[in-house]
Amino acid sequence: MDSRILEIFSCIKQCAITLQELLQCDDSGYLASTNASGDTQLAVDVRADRILEDALLKLACVGGVCSEEKSSALYKQKVDSSLVESTFLQLDSSQSLESSLLIAYDPLDGSSLFDSNLSVGSIFGIYDGVFSASALVAAAYIVYGPRLEVVLACEGVEHCVYSGGQWRSKGALQLESKGKLNAPGGTQKHWSKEHKELVESLFAKGYRLRYSGGMVPDLHQILCKKGGLFSYPATSDAPNGKLRKLFEVFPFAFIYERAGGEAINGRERLLSLSCDGLHDSTPCFLGSTEEIAQVRAIYMNKER
């Protein structure tokens, strides 16, 4: 594995410990501010974002970062490594550092669950030189729950747990061809006819509902249970989906593919999609191969 990716993974593990401590002592109050996606921010969102930004930008191998909480990316300048803000997916080669990795992250996914004491997480996409699905070389996420866990994906998908003051590997995560869990996101009254048909079909086949409202815990459970389907479709109130490509969708698509699953927008592979802006969103379906085949059959009007 690329030594730069190993360095970033090590940093993410250390940040996980710091953020777990933050979550145990910080308040869950809302601020007057909103993030780049229009969500009202918690105080803990802002603090988590700053911790990750500071830690990641200290790494020599990292040339820039972009947070789901902010409207622009921070890039290191080529001449003196000073920081410049930009809404572009990459800097001109005359400005940017050579051979450096870029990281897009959601510092605290599912933070609205925080005051209910439900599991939340952090998501990381590691890109080579440009924020684009084709440049994604690794991904990771943290789960802050009854246990502190990290999942790291490069060639494979490694599941790690923090116990007794140290990280230990629980082994590789691998999806089977068919699962039992169904995690459908979005407000039901805004679902399309096709999506209602899909969800009803899965329940008719005996799938179990497992949906907390947090992307990280829901997708993590499907991985740990070896199969199922997570969906956040296009809806009448969010025709381009709600989840952001760079910070949430692309990293998890990468992880699911490395774990033997698939990830599509209903028709196309998620990692084949273009990205025109830092906060672009898309419908998404992630799961085992049989569940994704059912999605394609319904969304592409093919016989099942």
Tokens representing 160 are 């790690």
CA distance 205 to 193: 19
75 is in an annotated binding site: no
68 is in an annotated binding site: yes
Task: Please state, in angstroms and rounded to a whole number, the distance separating the CA atoms of residues 206 and 158.
Answer: 29
Q: Find out whether 143 and 108 touch, Cβ atoms under 8 Å.
A: no
Distance of CA 59 to the CA centre of its chain: 21
242 is in an annotated binding site: yes
Is position 237 annotated in a ligand binding site?
Answer: no
- Report which DSSP code applies to 226: T
| 180 belongs to an annotated ligand binding site | no
Q: Is 3 annotated as a binding residue?
A: no
Residues in CB range of 262: below 8 A, 6 or more apart = 256, 269, 286, 287, 288, 289, 292
Consult the annotation and say whether 89 binds a ligand: no
Q: Give the separation between CA 137 and CA 126, rounded to whole angstroms.
A: 6
Does 111 appear as a known binding residue?
yes
- DSSP string of 240-300? T-SSBIIIIIHHHHHHHHHTT-EEESSSSBGGG----STT-B--EEEE-HHHHHHHHHHHT
Do 9 and 30 touch, CB atoms closer than 8 A? no
Burial 268-281 (b: 16+ CB within 10 A, else e): eebbebebeebbbb
Q: Which residues line the annotated binding site?
A: 68, 106, 108-112, 211, 242, 248
Question: Which residues are part of a known binding site for substrate?
Answer: 109-112, 211, 242
**Binding site for Mg(2+): which residues?**
68, 106, 108-109, 248
